[in-house]
Amino acid sequence: MNNLKLNLEGVYPFVSKEKVFAFKAKVEESQRLLHSKTGKGNDFLGWLHLPSSITTEQLNNIKATAESLSQATEVVVVIGIGGSYLGSKAVIDALSNSFSQLLDNGAHPHIVYAGQNIGEDYHYELLQLLEKKSGAAIVISKSGTTTEPALAFRLIKNHLEAKYCKLVAKNRIVAITDESKGALRTLATQEGYTTYVIPDDVGGRYSVLTPVGLLPIAVAGFDIHELVRGAQDMEKFLMDAPFEENPAMQYAAVRNALYSNGKKMEILANFEPKLHFMTEWWKQLYGESEGKENKGIFTAGVDFTTDLHSMGQYIQEGERFFFETVLSIAKTKHQLVVPTDKDNLDQLNFIAGKRIDQINKMAELGTKIAHIDGNVPNIHIEIPELTEYNLGALIYFFEKACALSGYTLDVNPFDQPGVEAYKKNMFALLNKKGFEKEGDVLRKRLGI
Ligand SMILES: O=P(O)(O)OC[C@H]1O[C@](O)(CO)[C@@H](O)[C@@H]1O
């Protein structure tokens, strides 16, 4: 069953249906390359059949680890950057109470994140928090060598060992990394941590349905069986559905049609604040997969209606080099009606008696019409409700469509050579061993 609806009516005033469907053959060829594992980056296709290959035992094992990590723990720090944290944060935020950090989460610890920035104050304040609260850590790095999470983990490991002693700290740490390579693997083996493996053939941004995403999501108290079931159903549906009924193939086609028509940027817009990090996850997935060889759609995100009062102006009347994809949620979890006020001093009685979501949906519709009138092509993606099942399906849909879109653009959607440039310079400037020559060149260039 496919719960996800893709509506391209808002695109056709700008790029005709024929032009979109002209990409059908190329997308079908991309799908053939993907399914036969004969395309670029075919050693990174472990994500393709990941949902259907995860066993109930594996999920139960992750759940058991989550439960033991949660014992007598108030805060779990998820340490990772990029694909090593965005997927879990996207799902946890989408499913959590908006104010969960201020509420007692019952048996489930609060989740906080580290390893995704190098802010000194951030880390200082995190250690202060862990001084007051009982803490545990999940450290995630596929390469096991990424500076930001390694740095955060060093600080948190030190802290936990000093607070609880090494033996107790060991049981409060889980590492998720490569099976054999990288500093984190060496460290985890040496220290005897519980570990999970990120399969070699699953890249970071495609790893949310491995323990990378599943363990933090389980710690937060959400149903990983349902998440995976949604992904499994979407995997099966997208495998068999012909182009005309296949939202992943059509999304890949329409993105390429718009790109070849001069639309160089895609803005993912939501009208649900809980989706902010789903957009962040999506931005990495598509931006890192397609932005290479001087090609690719730049991925941006906005949260509406919030950003209608800031970026709304540009979207309506600025340069016309982008299109908009609205990720819409059909049904809210709760119901809330606007009360009537006999004095009507705020002049809001015209919406009295309406559900808040009815107003939000009219904002969504009004925005769609306004942006189309402002010459912004509009793609509409709708899922029924924010549940584990629907999010699992949505994640797999975006992953599959991304791979198809990248192949259609003729790039390798599974590598990211460009991210090494800043790392090389940073290591050279910090005098890391092996980067002495680059350091000399840079210092000369900067005159320092
Ligand atoms: O899990 P790792 O190896 O620490 O990498 C984290 C992130 O860093 C990148 O490798 C980019 O530097 C991303 O592709 C990845 O999601």
* Number of residues that this document lists for the chain: 448
Ramachandran angles phi, psi of 23, nearest 5°:
-85, 0
pLDDT given at position 185:
97
Give the ranges where 47-182 is alpha helix by DSSP (H): 50-53, 56-70, 86-95, 120-132, 147-164, 166-170
Backbone dihedral angles phi then psi of residue 138, each to the nearest 5 degrees = -115, 115
Ligand 1 atom nearest residue 84's Cα: 1
- State the pLDDT at residue 365: 98
Among protein residues, the one whose CA lies closest to atom 8 of ligand 1? 82
Task: For a ligand 1 pocket test, name from 117, 139, 142, 148 the mutation site with the most ligand atoms within 8 angstroms of its C-beta.
Answer: 142
- d(CA 14, CA 321) in angstroms, rounded, equals 12
Query: What is this model's ipTM?
Result: 0.98
295 is catalytic: no
Which sign does the torsion angle of CA 369, 374, 377, 380 carry? Answer: negative
Would you state the pLDDT for residue 11?
Answer: 98
Q: Which pLDDT belongs to residue 278?
A: 98
Residue 390: CB within 6 Å of ligand 1?
no
288 a catalytic residue: yes
Q: Which atom of ligand 1 is nearest to the CA of 420?
A: 12
CATH code of the domain made up of 5-39+227-409: 3.40.50.10490
With a 6 A CB cut-off, is 150 part of the ligand 1 pocket? no
Determine the Cα–Cα distance for residues 310 and 269; give it in Å rounded to an integer: 13
Q: Do domains 5-39+227-409 and 49-222 have the same CATH topology?
A: yes
177 lines ligand 1 (CB under 6 A): no
Angle at 198 between CA 194 and CA 201, to 5 degrees: 160
Which residue's CA is minimally distant from atom 7 of ligand 1?
A: 82
Instruction: Decide: 149 in ligand 1 pocket, CB within 6 A.
Output: yes
83 CA to centre of ligand 1 in angstroms: 6
Q: How many CB atoms lie within 10 A of CB 116?
A: 19
pTM recorded for the entire structure: 0.97
pLDDT computed for residue 2 by the predictor: 74
pLDDT beneath 70, residues of the chain: 1
CATH entry, 49-222, from 3.40.50.10490, 3.30.70.1730, 1.10.150.20, 3.30.70.360 = 3.40.50.10490
pLDDT score, position 107: 86
Which residues does 258 contact at the CB level (< 8 Å), separation at least 6?
Answer: 11, 14, 15, 266, 297, 323, 377
Q: What per-residue confidence (pLDDT) applies to 1?
A: 56
Atom of ligand 1 nearest to the CA of 423: 12
Closest to 172 in 3D by CA, of 162, 181, 164: 164
Say how many Å lie between the CA of residue 85 and the centre of ligand 1: 10
> What confidence score (pLDDT) does residue 253 get?
98
Catalytic residue among 288, 290, 388, 399: 288
Residue 204: CB within 6 Å of ligand 1?
yes
Best of 44, 78, 84, 89 to mutate for ligand 1, by most ligand atoms within 8 A of CB? 84
Q: Which atom of ligand 1 is nearest to the CA of 212?
A: 1
Enumerate the domain spans of the chain: 5-39+227-409, 49-222
Atom of ligand 1 nearest to the CA of 82: 16
